[in-house]
Amino acid sequence: MDESPGQKTRGRIYKWDPLTLCFRGLLAEKWAMRGKSFPAKEIGMQEPGPFGTCEQLTRLEHMEGMARYRRVKDIGMLSMVSKTINQHIIDYISTSSGSKRLLLQDFHNLGLLGSRQNSIILQHYRLLGLLLKRCTLLLPTKERLKYIHKIFAEVSCFKFNGCADPMQCSGFSCYGVFLQNLTAGWDELECHRVYNFLCEMTDLSRKMQTIVFSKPGSAQKLELRTRLFCRNVLLDHWRHRSDSAFWLTRILKPWPIVNQARLLYIIFGPTSPLDGQVIWQNMIDGPTDESSLRGLADAIRLLYDTGTKEWTADDVISLVDELSVVPREWLLENNARLLILSGNNICFTFMASKAVNGRATELARLIVFLALVCEKDLYCMDWAVKMMLKIYKVFSTSGERSNFLQNVADAFACVLMEMLQSAMSGHHEEEERNILNLFHMVHAQANFHKEVLYLTMNNTLST
């Protein structure tokens, strides 16, 4: 029976198989660089005859020579030629020369001149992840992870506390893109094992326990390293949001809701541009900007929108509610800004929950600050009015609805008076800020009621 070119026949392959020819060329190139003729016959790659045996081609010294001059991508292709070649590549990677060749460690060249080098080293570790995925394909998950950990243990910047300057290091990012390519296509059970293995090797759970039970800011270095490890290794490099949601769930779910909120703030909350430390007072001391809340809002949307079975809508809303008192109760303006950034569904569900639980006064003040954020951040004011109308419909009786509208009107008046008093009693710098805030509040109230009038008049004319 005739066979197609390159098909295996009793452990041998046709000499014109492209991978075999490629491998022969690599070996010939190595010998040529030594100024010697290629000993094809001695290693079983002579021209005569239709076959060449893989087993004769895969001596470790040839692997070392080949790997020294070829890209990681090429080595990954050769690892699929046969089990023997694959095993020799695994053995080569475990050698000091192999690890030195493959584990690039230029992690601190992050300036403008180093941006290209940084992208090159990230791509290198992406391909290395694919290479080790192929090389360890036949091993159980636990053995694959042990083998990789043994290799990576030599790189200090891959260790949780290994780098002296983690803010200026791309080591965790390289580890992250490696992990993403290694585990791509693995099922959830295998990925659970990966997370558990990483926790065991880094003692991550104990470190998290320390920062969630300590006074905020008392373990700044540990907070920073935990944030960098979780973001750069576990969360930031996935192509699909469902993958990011899976890993974020692994981080948060073992903890009670109070600790989940604290971890979420540490990982996604605002940080200092100077040293990367988590800024705990940012939501308490005064109004903050969108950039300080964007990471938290994106994380909340990730858990809510991906539809993972481990997070119900009530779970996410409870997390948002708990987050708004980390480390202490936020200014209501910052809470309103977070809800707007989190999207319509989360904002409505959060506010409807308060309506159902009879917290109409608190809800009315929140609507006032939604209007203020719309005014300050240049969102359409009709959005805030329409959100109020949707909440209005949540109340089941006419008495509850009338009470809600009265609370909104009272809240506008109360907040205006509070801001006026702050503007009149503050020091010079505070006075300017408070007057500006009062200016925005007056305009917010005017524009909010204008949109209410538009909506009322349009409904009247259409009937």
DSSP string, 372-405: HHHHHTT--HHHHHHHHHHHHTTS-SHHHHHHHH
What SS3 state is found at 53? strand
Ranges of H-type helices in 203-312: 204-213, 220-229, 241-252, 257-268, 282-285, 290-305
Closest-CA residue to 292 (of 322, 271, 314): 271
Q: How many CA atoms, within 13 angstroms, populate the side-chain half-sphere of residue 263?
A: 24
pLDDT in tens, the chain (463 residues): 444 444 444 444 444 344 455 555 655 665 566 666 655 554 444 544 443 444 444 444 455 555 554 567 777 677 666 777 778 788 888 888 888 888 988 888 765 444 666 788 999 999 999 989 988 888 899 999 999 999 999 899 999 999 999 999 999 999 999 999 999 999 999 999 999 999 999 999 999 999 999 999 999 999 999 999 999 999 999 989 999 999 999 999 999 999 999 999 999 999 999 899 999 999 999 999 999 999 999 999 999 998 778 999 999 999 999 999 999 999 999 999 999 999 999 999 999 999 999 999 999 999 999 999 999 999 999 999 999 999 999 999 999 999 999 999 999 999 999 999 888 886 666 778 889 999 999 999 999 999 999 998 888 877 6
- The burial of 115, by beta-carbon neighbours within 10 Å (0-12 exposed, 13-18 middle, 19 or more buried), is given as exposed
Q: Return the amino acid letter for 208.
A: M
Which residue(s) pair with 14 in the sheet? 51
For helices 381-392 and 344-356, the axis angle rounded to 10 degrees is 40
Q: Cα separation of 457 and 463, whole Å?
A: 10
Q: Cα separation of 459 and 451, whole Å?
A: 12
* pLDDT number for residue 3: 41
* Number of helical (H) and strand (E) elements in the chain, helices listed first: 23, 2
Cβ within 8 Å of residue 337, ≥6 positions away: 287, 288, 290, 293, 373, 377
Which residue(s) pair with 13 in the sheet? 52
Whole-model pTM: value is 0.84
Q: Cα separation of 360 and 394, whole Å?
A: 11
* pLDDT number for residue 266: 98
Cβ within 8 Å of residue 365, ≥6 positions away: 332, 411, 414, 415
Q: Cα separation of 91 and 135, whole Å?
A: 10
Q: Return the amino acid letter for 200.
A: E
Closest-CA residue to 107 (of 164, 40, 63, 69): 164
Which DSSP helix (H) or strand (E) runs through 360?
helix 360-376
Contact 324, 330 (CB under 8 A): yes
* pLDDT number for residue 15: 42
Contact 107, 171 (CB under 8 A): yes
Q: What is the DSSP letter of 12?
A: E
* pLDDT number for residue 20: 53
**Alpha carbon of residue 162 to chain centroid:** 21
Which residue(s) pair with 278 in the sheet? 271
Q: Which two tokens stand for residue 435?
A: 């007057």
**Within a 10 A sphere around the Cβ of 408, how many other Cβ atoms?**
23
* pLDDT number for residue 38: 54
Q: Cα separation of 261 and 413, whole Å?
A: 33
What SS3 state is found at 278? strand
* pLDDT number for residue 22: 57
